A and B are shown apart, each in its own frame.
Chain A
Amino acid sequence: MSSFLFLVLAEVRRELQRARAYWLEVLADQVLFTLGFLLLSGLFQLVAGSSYAKETALASLVGFVIWRVADGCILRTTRSINDDAQAGTLEQVWLSAVSPHLVFLSRSAAILIYHSVRGFLLAVILVFLLGLPLIFPVGLLLVYILTQVGAFGVAFIVAGLHLVYKNVSSIGLTLSTALLFLTGALAPLDNAPLLYHLSRALPLTIGIDLSRQVLAGRLTLAATLRQPDFYWLLLNTAVYALLGLAIWEWGQRMARRDGSLAHY
């Protein structure tokens, strides 16, 4: 465990150093998503008129921020594999003192911390700009982490495929974009029952739904744990996380068999 924390710190430091090197990209990204949400929110208000209450805006914001963090994590994880392969540092990870799986898990944790901070800043700015209530029940944090772990399952699936097939970043991009629309991240899918039920098999849907319930009902941690959706979320996250790790393990074994670990 101490090795894991040690590695997480190292990865967080590297992530921040990387952000410093590419500060303009980070800034532009942050501005783009802030403006993007404001624009969408404006459109919803225009269509819904007075029925677009602050609660609805808050529900959209929660979904949007959870999706945005997951999107950042999925894209950054797959991009980091490609970048490392190009820089020749990927093989150095396999030469580390601990298993490469542990290195990549710690890297995932670091990416999650980094993107969560950015997501939190995005949320605070939007809450301020839209005049929404700033509330954060403790249960929300647990739901948030579980939801993002499921998203990392997707990231590991794409990363595992990348080790074997190379240059599959477009799959990551397609998946994360699809998740924005198919999980009801922007607006709940209550009006489309079939899509709603299908979307619950996807990684973010249940987490976003449950987060909205926690926020709307101001649920305590104990009350959150009693929600039926919490157990569905646990199951959903476990399935995606295990699938991600299995495909990652398969990918790295195939890459070592083919001698293509450093290829890109």
Chain B
Amino acid sequence: MNNQPFIQVSEVTKRYPRAENPAVNGVSLSLHPGETLALLGPNGAGKTTTVKMVAGLVLPTSGTIHVMGHDMVLARAKGVRHIGAVLEGARNLYWRLSALENLRYFGNLRLVPRRELFHRIEELLALFGLEAHKHQEVRQFSRGMQQKLAIAAALLHDPKILLLDEPTLGLDVQAAKQLEATIAQLTQEQEKAILLTSHMMPLAEKLADRIFVIHKGRKVASDATRSLLERYNTHQDIAEIQVAGQMTQVLIAQLQQAFGGITAIPNANTTMLRWPGSEQTQLIQLLQFLDEQDQAILDIGRRQASLEEVFLSLTGMEQPNE
């Protein structure tokens, strides 16, 4: 990997007028060619402000941001040429124009020469599987298609850097998966450097080389994805099993004795068993136990804790009462 970062953020602070606390507080990060960095944090953590400062859309209060070596306050116009960005979900397109008209317009805004633009549009429509819909108005698109088209529009001038702010927000599972695959393709085949924000850990896990966790404007953690998730998965992976009917207290006590750390949450006609940190073999033993006790299993799931829980784990803070 090249040593010269595409993006270099140094000690950046953003304090909005009349705001009590800074939105971003002394953040430093870098993004190298071909790398995907996930900026993770809960709502209001400072992710979007950081991305917008990188794009030159928000002025930092202090610190410096360089994109391809250009200062984004003093020479924004030079830096912004290397950036493609999709900000805040699908709101990046003209809904009453067709996909083709949108791409042509945004290509013109980025001064892509006419002939090159024609080929580029065809190429991107094919990449995102939108050729059949190119004459359709964007308002008729599904959310997933809109998001794909927004990314296609951001790629028209073949930028070296792609900024994606919550790219899977509001998408259904299938559309999110398709988009994940497309983003992965962009990093692998086209070697784009991608800075994405999300509060979805699985998305970051699949796409990012590095994760930067931000909370209340400050860096909480920054590490290679694998090492960060290993830490997190060990402690925070949660198995959830829904059993028909209300379990007896005796059975719950037996369960807790046999499988340490399990909790049973009774609902109207079901019982939810929640087991953090359980491993696959332990889970199989639990299922066998439930089967022996004639408990009808309605649903089995395994989820990772929310990012809030990751923060708590990383920072050692206590979980607030729900």
Q: Are A259 and B16 in contact (CB under 8 A)?
A: yes
B86-129: CB near A (< 8 Å → 1, else 0) gives 01111111111100010011101111000000000000000000
- Residues of A137-184 contacting chain B, CB below 8 A: none
Chain B residues with CB under 8 Å of A95's CB are 55, 57, 80, 83-85
Q: Are B110 and A89 in contact (CB under 8 A)?
A: no
- Chain B: minimal CB distance from A251 (Å): 14
Q: Are A92 and B92 in contact (CB under 8 A)?
A: yes
Q: Are A87 and B110 in contact (CB under 8 A)?
A: no
In chain A, what residue has the closest Cβ to B101? A17
Q: Which residues of B contact A (CB under 8 A)?
A: 14, 16-17, 23, 49, 52, 55-59, 77, 80-81, 83-85, 87-97, 101, 104-106, 108-111, 137, 153, 157
Of A7, A94, A99, A103, most B-chain CB atoms within 10 Å:
A94
Can you name 18 A-B pairs with beta carbons within 8 Å? A6-B108, A10-B108, A13-B101, A17-B96, A87-B92, A87-B95, A88-B89, A88-B91, A89-B91, A92-B85, A95-B80, A96-B111, A97-B110, A99-B77, A256-B56, A257-B58, A258-B17, A262-B88
- Residues of A1-31 contacting chain B, CB below 8 A: 3, 6-7, 9-10, 13-14, 17-18, 21-22
- Chain B: minimal CB distance from A111 (Å): 15
Q: Are B105 and A14 in contact (CB under 8 A)?
A: yes
- Residues of A211-264 contacting chain B, CB below 8 A: 253, 256-259, 261-262
Q: Does A93 contact B (CB under 8 A)?
A: yes
Q: Are B17 and A257 in contact (CB under 8 A)?
A: yes
> What CA separation (Å) do A252 and B149 show in the bound complex?
27
Q: Are B96 and A22 in contact (CB under 8 A)?
A: yes
Q: Are A87 and B91 in contact (CB under 8 A)?
A: yes
Chain B residues with CB under 8 Å of A86's CB are 91
- Chain A: minimal CB distance from B43 (Å): 15
CB within 8 A of B94: which of A6, A87, A99, A257? A87
Closest 10 CB pairs of A and B: A88-B91, A10-B108, A21-B96, A96-B109, A97-B111, A259-B58, A97-B110, A256-B59, A88-B92, A257-B59
